[in-house]
Structure 1
């Protein structure tokens, strides 16, 4: 458990060094959305749904009555939520987002940047096995160890991704400034907030007008920072370096 806490602390600390946290929040959450679609739910709903959810909320929020380590509370809460199965669809995805929100609520994370779906996909058999062992045999120990390992390894993986994104951001910024020394820094940040961008994104963020935004994005294509793709009637600009980082294991 100490190892998982230490890894979370390192992750939370290094995330604060990013020039724009959206660089991480948006890109990591996109990975979560992709990963979550590959995981199925295994439990059915219950007639006493409201009572069960209320009990779960009390367990999660009443730290005086249930004074246990936040990581253990997260793991127990995740099992309970999946067992309650309150929705017809999307329970697994919601449960994994709940993990992150619990860690933020308990002060272990400052921002929603830890998503466990990748680990669970890579260890899917163990996930279902340990969930079922809790239900059938009350075997909490192996389930808790599984979730602590998931937190530890996912935190370390996310730290690695932060470092890769930060290094690529600096390399890209240096490359852009050689060609366009007066380019607004906010534009450089914007192309790292998600793997693709459109001119309207810069307009909505009040960075540039539509025509100026399109001109800047086209210029970044000319120096191979972005790649222009025509999707329907829209021009979409792809940050292939960021895509490469997010898709690599």
Structure 2
């Protein structure tokens, strides 16, 4: 081993491990089709296993794909007799940072929407239903009633009040089985 080589031990940060795992998986290219998709899924699965994230919401692949040419160049640079791991790891970490910032911005916007909506709610049932739409932004009265353990009539009244306050939207021409949408939240999350 020469002085330029560095060894990472098993206790290295899980995000660095993820970057290495992804590069190694892509290097062996084990399947005829789907290696890229599976390699990006492995990123999320490892981050869940390492308890870095609790659910699959952190898709660094979105950031990797945004700079696709650089991504492939740096990924290919980890191969051969003189691999450049430092450039790949730096790129991967910066992509993770951009993705985390993007998610934090979305979460902050969703929190602000929730708080502002709660200020417009007059009844407890409206508050409960409003907050439920952050779990299920495309809902019906029966789905919300079942989830919240409230009567369908109470939930329907709350949904209609939230629609009147323009917090939710529903098709005014549909009479039965109306769907209610929290479009502001959906816009934030898209």
Structure 1-normalised TM-score? 0.59
Q: Is 1:166 aligned to residue 111 of structure 2?
A: yes
User: Relative contact order, CA 8 A, sep 6+: which one is greater?
Assistant: 1
8 Å Cα contact 1:186/1:207 also seen in 2? no
Partner of 2:65: 121
Tell me the secondary structure at the aligned position of residue 134 of structure 2: coil
Superposed counterparts of 1:1-249, under 5 Å? 66-85=10-29, 91-135=35-79, 138-177=83-122, 181-183=123-125, 185-229=127-171, 235-247=178-190
Q: Shift of residue 173 of structure 1?
A: 0.9
Shift of 1:169: 0.6
2:168/2:182 contact within 8 Å kept = yes
Q: How many residues align?
A: 179
Q: Deviations over 1:73-129 (max 9, x none)?
A: 110112233344566765544433432343343344455442213312322222222
Mapped to 2, the partners of 1:170 and 1:91 lie a distance apart of 43
Q: CA deviation at 1:188?
A: 1.8
For residues 172 and 240 of structure 1, what CA distance do their matches in structure 2 show? 13
Shift in CA distance, 162/200, structure 1 to aligned 2, threshold 3 Å:
same
Q: CA RMSD in A?
A: 3.1
Cα 1:184–1:175 change in 2 (3 A) is closer
Cα–Cα, structure 1 residues 79 and 234, in superposed 2: closer, same or farther, change >3 Å? Answer: farther
Secondary structure (helix, strand or coil) at the match of 2:121 reads: helix
TM (norm. structure 2) is 0.74
> What's the offset of the Cα at 1:186?
3.0
Distance 1:203 1:92, change over 3 A: farther
Shift in Å, 1:190: 1.3
For residue 191 of structure 1, report the CA deviation from its aligned partner. Answer: 0.9
| Conservation of the 8 A alpha-carbon contact between 2:125 and 2:154 | no
Q: Secondary structure at the match of 1:208?
A: coil
How far off its partner does 1:159 sit?
1.5
Tell me by how many angstroms 1:217 deviates: 2.0
